[in-house]
Structure 1
């Protein structure tokens, strides 16, 4: 092993001392920044938690130490840091949909929905089983009551809706439920739900109730009701056709009747006027007759003879006493020939 000379060892030692003297001293500010950084982060988080934004469709319920102190509308707001104050946002202006009797992934797609037998099956007033699928539209009217008057207000609404629907369906017959009384049933269910919600005071406003579908539970019964419905529609068609024929024929018949009535009235007026004329003539004749009965009687007799025998010559003998008069009688041959010519 070859050892270095002493001068080389002294040189290495000198280099080490030189490096130690040239090394910069450590800065104490760097360690302070590392200590302050978590405090700054915590302070920033606290400051950010003191502000919150409420959307247009929302309201914010502010609680101070667990007690409701205010309800804020849309906009930017500030609060004390947690746990002094807390904020719960509630969608009060959003229309929500509750499905009963069926389940669908989309609120607007009911064709791909699957039926829920336990919810849909109901008994009518005439002891028939039907499947009723309907939905309820509602929204939050009071966010404080909605949050704190009950644990699950939406579930309570669903149970109330099912109970009301079963009660109303149980008072109707099966024909009305499946065909003609759906709108009436919807209105009655809505009225009953609203009445019950007032008692529960859930902070919920019911908007509408719509029956999605109502049908019997088996295919055989469904087919029978479809045939009944077809017969009813055909009946309605026949009635409409009859009404159309009546509306087409009745005006012509009424016109003909009016024409006959006018003709009859005209004939009646003519006969009445004719009778009045005859009466006036007779009264005038009677007046003249009353003045001189013999002369009027003779005149009437002669006028009648003239009407009966228009071609006969009449000679009136007005002589008195025993004076004998000769009348200019015509030849029978002449009279006969004249009659033959005529």
Structure 2
């Protein structure tokens, strides 16, 4: 039988033991019962007639529950993947937390997220005095990132500002120890390296929790009032470097050719030497073969040598034939033109013909050989 069927039903959950009337419970009574229960928990006293007091206790309990839930959910927070969280408990450092979903005691703990992976930029610029007492405007930029979250937050008041002041100090120190020409031209890389090293030395004792990953030397120029003069000076220096490079290229190009000519001259000298030696040996061999013939028939050999020599001489000589027996009248001969043609022809003689002339000159020494042969015969007699 259901609890709400008519008749004698004692299964009604809303019916009290001392209540004979069957029906739904009174709302005031229900709230009063709940208030009495919570009032008993928090030290209150239940009262049958205090319905208003019970309702207020219920409201306080609900508000307390809601507050607890809000407090619990308000403690959840998220640390991003590139960050680390600094935990402060009542203002005191209590460690670091890794990326992910975390929970904290609200009002008791404070979380400071610190970006550990992003590379940050910091510029520096200004007019500075160089070693040679010139004024130059320098622009430089550094890139850095955080490596220690605790030192970054607690070592100094503001690590970024401290790094900026250290960069300005390092830059002015290096520029003040450099010459303007080096800063504007060939010494830029040295200035960049020196600034980087000086900056690391400055920030090391402060433990800023930062690391400098790069230093960029963006620009260096003189003041606008003297910019044109410095541009001319820089252009002249660039021309000097260009001329030096061209001279080096010319030297590299002409030196191999000179060495080649030297080598060729050496080879020609060696060939000329060998040719001269061989010619001399050939002449000696010819005279050695001619000597027995001369000893056997001196007059015939001498006559033959004379005729051979004269043949060679007249073969290379211009000849003019004049018939003087036909009469006493001398013919007009253009000797000047003939000699001029002869001289021009001699300039264009081939090398083989000049060598033939040299052989003729050599053969003209044949009488010396005959004299030597006569002395040889006298010695034998």
TM-score computed with the length of structure 1 as normaliser: 0.63
| Matches for 1:68-107 after TM superposition, within 5 Å | 68-83=93-108, 85-101=109-125
CA–CA separation in structure 2 for the residues paired with 1:41 and 1:130: 67
CA drift of 1:192 comes to 0.8
One of 264, 270, 280 as aligned partner of 1:265: 270
CA drift of 1:309 comes to 2.7
Consecutive unaligned residues in structure 1, runs of 5 or more: 1-23, 102-119, 290-294, 312-342
CA drift of 1:252 comes to 5.6
* Number of positions where the alignment pairs a residue of Structure 1 with one of Structure 2: 259
Number of the residue aligned with 1:331:
none
CA–CA separation in structure 2 for the residues paired with 1:265 and 1:36: 123
CA drift of 1:36 comes to 3.8
Corresponding residue SS for 1:86: strand
Is 2:68 the counterpart of 1:62? no
Number of the residue aligned with 2:139:
133
Number of the residue aligned with 1:334:
none
CA–CA separation in structure 1 for the residues paired with 2:186 and 2:148: 37
RMSD: 3.5
Is 2:216 the counterpart of 1:210? yes
CA–CA separation in structure 1 for the residues paired with 2:282 and 2:306: 26
Number of the residue aligned with 1:111:
none
CA drift of 1:212 comes to 2.3
CA drift of 1:165 comes to 0.9
TM-score computed with the length of structure 2 as normaliser: 0.58
Corresponding residue SS for 1:309: helix
CA drift of 1:299 comes to 5.0
Summarize deviations over 1:229-251 as a string: whole Å, max 9, x none: 22233344445555566666666
Question: Higher relative contact order at CA 8 Å, sep ≥6: structure 1 or structure 2?
Answer: 1
Provide closer, same or farther for how the CA distance between residues 32 and 266 of structure 1 changes in structure 2, counting only shifts above 3 A. Answer: farther
CA–CA separation in structure 2 for the residues paired with 1:234 and 1:300: 84
CA drift of 1:133 comes to 1.8
One of 159, 167, 181 as aligned partner of 1:161: 167
One of 64, 75, 85 as aligned partner of 1:39: 64
Provide closer, same or farther for how the CA distance between residues 310 and 143 of structure 1 changes in structure 2, counting only shifts above 3 A. Answer: same
Consecutive unaligned residues in structure 2, runs of 5 or more: 1-25, 35-54, 309-381
Contact 1:123 1:129 in 2 (8 A): yes
Summarize deviations over 1:58-108 as a string: whole Å, max 9, x none: 11122445444433332223344441x33221011111111222xxxxxxx
Is 2:310 the counterpart of 1:305? no
Number of the residue aligned with 1:178:
184
Corresponding residue SS for 1:180: coil
